[in-house]
Amino acid sequence: MIMHNTDSQGRRCSAKAPTRRAPLIGLVLLAGWLTSSQADVIDVFDNGPNWDGMGDPSDAIEIESVDGQVKFRRLAPSSSDLTQVWYFRSYVIPEGRPLEFRLDSVSPGSDEVATPFFFSVKGSPEAAGYAIHRLGNAFWIGKYKSPYPMSWYRQDTWSSVTSEPVTHIYSFTRQGDNVEIRAKAVLRDNPEQVVAEAPTVIDTPGRETLYNGGVEAVEAAAPHYGPSMFLVTGIAVDDPNLPSGELILDNFLCSEEPTPPPLQAGFSGDQLQLSWRGTWTVAEADSPGGPWLPALAGTEVTVGTPDKSCVVPMTGLARFFRLTPGYGNAKSFNDGSTTWQTFAATPGTARPRLARAGESYRISGSAAFNQDFLLLQTDPRPLWQRDCIASITLADWDETMIDATFGLLLRVTKEDQVWRGTDGLPEDRYEGAVTVVTFQTADDSPRSALTISGPGGELLAQTQFPLMNPAREYRLRFSAFGDQLDLAIYDPTEGGSPLADCHATDDRLPAGMPGLHGTKSTGDVYELTVSDFVFNGTARSGPGLVPR
């Protein structure tokens, strides 16, 4: 059996599997999208947010989508002078050919409000990259390399600021060990007319004199050539004491298709181990032609620095894997990099308490604290996803609980792009919930139930099944692939077929954020232990990423 892998240049690599393996019909590893000669459309803002995350969210910054554009508005002075959104993309700076980015600025120019652009060429722990700011009629080009702060090449100013929409053009070209950086702004409706152009910068591996706060600084090394971990744009205010500022952006494009890192394969015992780098997630399909969907959340992902890996059981069936922009969250209750908190589902009410116990969380509340609640990841904030799947283990619960529920939230959407939890449960969401009942009920034949609900809590589907036993563990799994919503509950010790499942079709929410939600017990106590929360989602739609 031959396993195939496509490297970052589109070449196919082969590795022969050991003959002692159990028979497998076929396995193909694809590093990314299918070959395309078209440029990459990063975002045109026609369908709301398409970015993958937000840095430095501030109550002083309002972000909204208006007429197919995105508007950043600074409402009041703030200690944070930069609010940014980022896109998970990987590009390698080509040898001898420009890697070019274009970003339209529709709002009038300003001497106080900057249009920032960051091109990160290396992720943590050794973050490095380039920054370009247009402030009024001048460009500032800089670079950073952890742990050092941003340093800038000295720039001059040009003609007066134009009030017409402009297109920013940023290009990076590799010539041997050097990187040539160019930046200019042209009129969007007359691209032959240059509004501002920065002197060409040649970034070299040697020592250079740069500037930080107007003071000369020496940078001893050039950032790595790629691939980038993320692109960033947003609003920057030159004077944090200014009361307001506004930017309207549109049409964010790149001249090259993204280049994912290679997806490597090896064997760990009797299982296949996949490994990769960067902010990508694994998609799988039954054939090389797709459709490509997030890999099942039951596949454990180990997150390292900077490597990620997952182990795939050998089922004897043909399965195909590749990387796609997205986010995988594996066993996040115990990965050391996330923070969880309970919130009131209705602002102003109490909420159950949350206590960590090893790799699990215990949710408990009685009397006034037996209330509907949210369980959310607060650091990092949840990211917007399209096709997505999540699962969690219900370990045990108090036997006095009656008719309480616990559920997985997918595609939660909010107008302000960030779900902080403090504002309660948004109306627009999909929820796959299980009703946790015990023997203490007035019903002569108590049953448990799986429920799928849509925007506003509308019931979309429900399946009843034999009463759950608080002495057993159960695995709850919920997916939103296109307009197909599927909820199932399993016995983790048995595997295979679910104990019960539920299906609905709904296309009202194409993207959103994940979360966890519970409703109070009609008894006096809500007490439930959960563990092994796993989430996998695609950051955006792309070739081959279509619903089944």
Tell whether the model's pLDDT for residue 185 goes beyond 60: yes
Band (242; pLDDT cuts 50, 70, 90): low
Is-contact 317 135, C-beta < 8 A? no
Is-contact 348 439, C-beta < 8 A? no
User: Considering the chain, what is the average pLDDT of its residues?
Assistant: 77
pLDDT tens digits for range 307-343: 677 777 666 677 888 887 777 666 567 655 567 889 9
Q: What is the DSSP string of 360-375?
A: EEEEEEEGGG---EEE
Helices and strands in the chain, H and E counts:
0, 42
- Least confident interval from 313-327, 339-353, 398-412, 494-508: 313-327
Segments of the chain assigned to CATH 2.60.120.560: 40-254, 332-538
Q: Which fold has domain 40-254?
A: Jelly Rolls (2.60.120)
Q: Who has greater pLDDT, 458 or 308?
A: 458
Q: Which pLDDT belongs to residue 189?
A: 92
Tell whether the model's pLDDT for residue 162 goes beyond 60: yes
pTM of the complete model:
0.72
Q: Which pLDDT belongs to residue 35?
A: 34
Tell whether the model's pLDDT for residue 77 goes beyond 70: no
332-538: CATH number:
2.60.120.560
Q: Who has greater pLDDT, 255 or 418?
A: 255
- Quote the CA–CA distance of 374 and 36 in Å, as a whole number: 42
**Which of 175, 224, 172, 228 lies closest to 200 in space, CA to CA?**
172
**Which of 480, 282, 303 lies closest to 380 in space, CA to CA?**
303
Q: How far is CA 256 from CA 38, 94, 327, in A?
A: 8, 10, 22
Q: Who has greater pLDDT, 471 or 495?
A: 471
- Quote the CA–CA distance of 421 and 428 in Å, as a whole number: 14
Q: Which pLDDT belongs to residue 544?
A: 27
- Quote the CA–CA distance of 180 and 200 in Å, as a whole number: 7
Q: Which pLDDT belongs to residue 543?
A: 30
Q: Which pLDDT belongs to residue 99?
A: 92
Q: Who has greater pLDDT, 292 or 174?
A: 174
Band (279; pLDDT cuts 50, 70, 90): low
pLDDT tens digits for range 10-55: 322 222 222 223 323 344 554 433 333 447 888 888 766 677 666 6
